[in-house]
Chains A and B, each alone.
Chain A
Amino acid sequence: MDLSLIDWSRAQFALTAMFHWVFVPLTLGLGVIMCIYETIYYRTGDEKWKRLAKFWIKLFGINFAIGVATGIILEFEFGTNWSNYSYFVGDIFGAPLAIEGIVAFFLEATFIGVLFFGWDKVSKGFHLASTWLTVGGATLSAWWILVANAWMQFPAGMDFNPDTARNELTDFWAVALSPVAVNKFFHTVLSAWMLGAAFVIGVSSYYLLKKRDTEFAKNSIKIATLVGIAGIVLTFWTGHGSAQKVAKHQPMKLAAMEGLYEGKAGAGLVGIGILNPSKEAYNDSENPFLFKIEFPKMLSWLAYSETDSYVAGIKDLVDGNEAQGIISVEEKMEMGKMAQQALKTYRTTECDSTKQAALIQLDENIGNFGYGFFKEPKNAVPPVGITFYAFHIMVLLGGYFLIFFIAYWFFNKKGILEKNKWLQILALISIPLAYICSQAGWVVAEVGRQPWAIQDILPLSASVSKIPTSSVQITFFVFLAVFSILLIAELGIMVKAIKKGVDNE
């Protein structure tokens, strides 16, 4: 397999997904905040909240319009660059994505019209319901996309059909309500509230900086900081749940997130650390860190809610650890090869009894099917550096935003924010920091899952289409150009609307 083809296909998917993720969290996060502004208007009848809601709805509309349908490109890529994967998972991936399309179309398309055209034409209550339903529709769409992604991290509710070479959905609810999907949904959506809050506080601080629309800005910040506090606290809480799911279903990802090579009971959580670039192999004698500050026993607590639990390291997971009941990758590779041989036999033999025996062998080993593609055990290790740094950037920025929201709520309440230019500038700088935090979360989820497209079942090397690398390179740069233009348009239109301000609605 041409490695550059995999890398280019992967780079293209990462580019598209990360670009799509510029728009989605702002839609979800700003959406909830504008709903709250309008709810306050509905309850109080105070026109200042209507004016406020209308301004933020306008920015929501800009983001929504530029971001809409950017995710569809990912589906194009599945069919062209990842055809083996698409075929292998077709029915399972198709169901949630189809529901997503229908939900998105009916809820968002119907009610977004009322949201923008319905002011003064429908009752206040109906308009408010439409605003909530638009945002609810977008959030429900996210559910189905995240269900599809969660299935790749923790495949469940399916059976492999050797006749069609496809997985078939056997339990819809096991897919739709898998613990990984539920946790992923809340973690992702709540982190989007954090991003939306950071956006509102940053933009409002711009008005404070310019000494215009100050009452508007202060009222906006009052609500946004509270949404931000709720969002970030719940994101941390669901992050704990996420770590537990990763420890259970993707222990290699957890080990990479922490740069943990040697497993131990009472493992510490790295707060800040610099990885040793001289460490080239998982089993060499180099120290994995040049420097680290660790919170004792916290990784064990994070992963298993007990401070003395054993957390497996990369070496345990590759070489196996009998005392901890961990099977080596080499043994899994044997099982994977047996599954592949059984599939080959099943599809080529004419003899019924041989077919039956092959089917039994396939069923017994299907859970490790993907390991059969590996040439050597170290293939099971994801890129530790990217996963480690992305995880720590996400957590550190998450901690920053916890302090940020509480502090800005207090500063705003006491009138300190209005008088301090540096606080206003810091709020503006915090907008890109919120995006970095949010994107880093996806980098952990996706790079940490490597080398798998579907955990333990299908690696990327078997998922990719055998197409010329040059065609993927061309489309990569076409996307880069299109996305750059759209991003410039987003920023330009958004900045213009912000500069125009609320008084010129």
Chain B
Amino acid sequence: MEKIKNIADFFRMYVEGFKKMTKLGKMLWALILIKLFIMFAILKVFLFPNFLNSKFDNEQDKADYVAEQLVNND
């Protein structure tokens, strides 16, 4: 096995690593990608909007709203 001598070899190590990945490695990468897709493309977009960003356009309105929540606690 040839050792890494320069930065190009270093990147080649990653490329080769992915190319020669074991079945287990491929399965884990698939799992990571599916998980990230579900988290960022589904959960974040459809189920977890930022509450204040979705209600207000600017920082002042957000500050006014939160301050109101802090002083009116009925």
Contacts and interface: CB of A to CB of B under 8 A. Distances in A.
B3 to A, nearest CB: 6
B13 A121 contact: yes
B3 A122 contact: yes
B11 to A, nearest CB: 10
Contact of A122 (B4, B52, B63, B73): B4
Interface stretch (A39-47, A83-91, A95-103): A83-91
A353 interface: no
A80 B27 contact: no
Interface in A130-179: 162-166
A478 B47 contact: yes
Given A340-B70, A343-B71, A83 B63 contact: no
A344 interface: yes
Nearest to A341: B71
B47 A475 contact: yes
Nearest to B55: A83
Interface in B1-39: 1-4, 9, 13-14, 16-17, 24-25, 27-29, 31-32, 35-36, 38-39
Contact of A493 (B27, B32, B35, B44): B27
Contacts of B50: 79-80, 83
B3 A465 contact: no
Interface string B53-74: 1000001001110110111010
B60 to A, nearest CB: 9
A416 interface: no
A58 B3 CA distance: 22
Interface stretch (A65-73, A202-210, A315-323, A384-392): A65-73
A462 B38 contact: no
Given A113-B14, A462-B70, A87 B52 contact: yes
A80 B71 contact: no
Nearest to A117: B17
A219 B10 CA distance: 33
A470 to B, nearest CB: 12
A166 B69 CA distance: 13
Given A69-B39, A73-B43, A478-B43, A79 B51 contact: yes
Contacts of A120: 1
Contacts of B3: 121-123
Contact of B62 (A87, A461, A478, A497): A87
Nearest to A116: B17
Given A118-B13, A121-B4, A65 B43 contact: no
B52 A372 contact: no
A81 to B, nearest CB: 8
A431 interface: no
Contacts of A72: 39
Contact of A372 (B2, B49, B59, B73): B73
Interface string A319-343: 0000000000000000000001101
Interface in A433-484: 461-462, 465, 467, 471, 474-475, 478, 482
B50 to A, nearest CB: 4
Contact of B29 (A65, A88, A113, A497): A65
Interface in A358-410: 372-373
Contacts of A61: 25, 28
Contacts of A502: none
Contacts of B67: 162, 165, 343, 347
Nearest to A471: B47
Contacts of B49: 79-80
A349 to B, nearest CB: 13
Given A65-B32, A87-B52, A113-B17, A76 B73 contact: no
A76 B52 contact: no
B63 A163 contact: yes
Contacts of A166: 63, 66
A123 B10 CA distance: 12
A489 interface: yes
A282 B64 CA distance: 38
A257 interface: no
Residue among A58, A72, A87 with the highest chain B CB neighbour number at 10 A: A87
Interface of B: 1-4, 9, 13-14, 16-17, 24-25, 27-29, 31-32, 35-36, 38-39, 43-44, 47-53, 59, 62-64, 66-67, 69-71, 73
Given A87-B66, A165-B70, 13 more contacts: A69-B32, A73-B43, A79-B50, A117-B13, A117-B17, A118-B4, A118-B13, A122-B3, A165-B66, A340-B73, A475-B43, A482-B38, A486-B35
Interface of A: 58, 61-62, 65-66, 68-69, 72-73, 76-77, 79-81, 83-84, 86-88, 113-114, 116-118, 120-123, 162-166, 340-341, 343-344, 347, 372-373, 461-462, 465, 467, 471, 474-475, 478, 482, 486, 489, 493, 497
